[in-house]
Structure 1
Amino acid sequence: MILTYFRRVERRIANIKIISDKKIDFKEIDSDEGLIRGTIVFINGYILEFMEYIEHGKRLKYRFHLMDKERKMIFRFDNAPHYRNLTFPHHKHTPDGVVESKEMGIIEVLKEIETLILMV
């Protein structure tokens, strides 16, 4: 089951034309549990550092940190257990503060980054 998700992520990344470099590790813990972590560099110099831990189809822990080429934060999605007044535990850090967010996975974050880069 986790390998199916890993393959889906690999296919999605392979189809993104605005990626210039990547280093991604997929770790299968057991058939229903795994960890993805890595760094993706985009053609405009943006860098995504991320980690996603999944068990039995649930995303237990994640962080997706997008920076510009000077390593200044553009956004960060995570589910660290703070900001109880927002969409706990899911939230998005921006240069202007922290805002509500739905649960995010690498595929959803990559879609958001594509839109962001292609709009510029």
Structure 2
Amino acid sequence: MSRNSFRDYFDQIDQLLEAYPDVYVENYNATILSSERANLKLRLRFYFQYLLSISEALVVVDDQITAIDYRYHFQDGQNNLVFRYDNTPHFPNLSSFPHHKHLVDRVIACGQPNIAMVIQDAIAFIGSNDIN
């Protein structure tokens, strides 16, 4: 696999972000370390208050780009957690271990989402709270 594979992945992220005009990109850092390794760090603002922080450590496994470590952290304008997806191995009793989702009052089992799913999750939360 080549560095172009990571470039293609980052181009897909760019196209995804262009589809959301109400999302402001505060920080975008995509670093290709080698043909087998890359990192992605994003900070996205929704309506200039909600923050979605994205961090992925990416590797190539069986010709597929895989996030070996990830964190998708969404918080409100007062810096309170709304949700966070991550794969830190600290909830071994969950069926989806090490993948899980933190909510305000609990942690639940879930598979690893992709960035589009996380953005949709954030937008759904904002919509349910009538913030515009």
TM superposition score normalised by structure 1: 0.92
CA contact (8 A) 1:3 1:31 kept: no
Query: Partners in 2 of 1:116 and 1:40 — Cα distance?
Result: 15
Equivalent residues in 2 for 1:21-100, closer than 5 Å: 21-43=25-47, 45-56=49-60, 57-86=65-94, 87-100=96-109
Q: Which runs of 4+ in 1 moved over 6 A?
A: none
Query: Partners in 2 of 1:98 and 1:36 — Cα distance?
Result: 25
Query: Partners in 1 of 2:111 and 2:81 — Cα distance?
Result: 19
Identity of aligned residues (%): 25
TM-fit CA distance, 1:47: 0.5
User: RMSD between aligned alpha carbons?
Assistant: 1.4
Correspondent of 1:115 among 120, 124, 131: 124
Question: After alignment, is 21-30 or 76-85 more displaced?
Answer: 21-30
The structure that has the greater radius of gyration is 2
Question: For 1:12, what is the secondary structure of its paired residue?
Answer: helix
The unaligned stretches of length 5 or more in structure 2 are none
Higher relative contact order (CA 8 A, sep 6+): 1
The unaligned stretches of length 5 or more in structure 1 are none
TM superposition score normalised by structure 2: 0.84
Query: Partners in 2 of 1:104 and 1:53 — Cα distance?
Result: 14
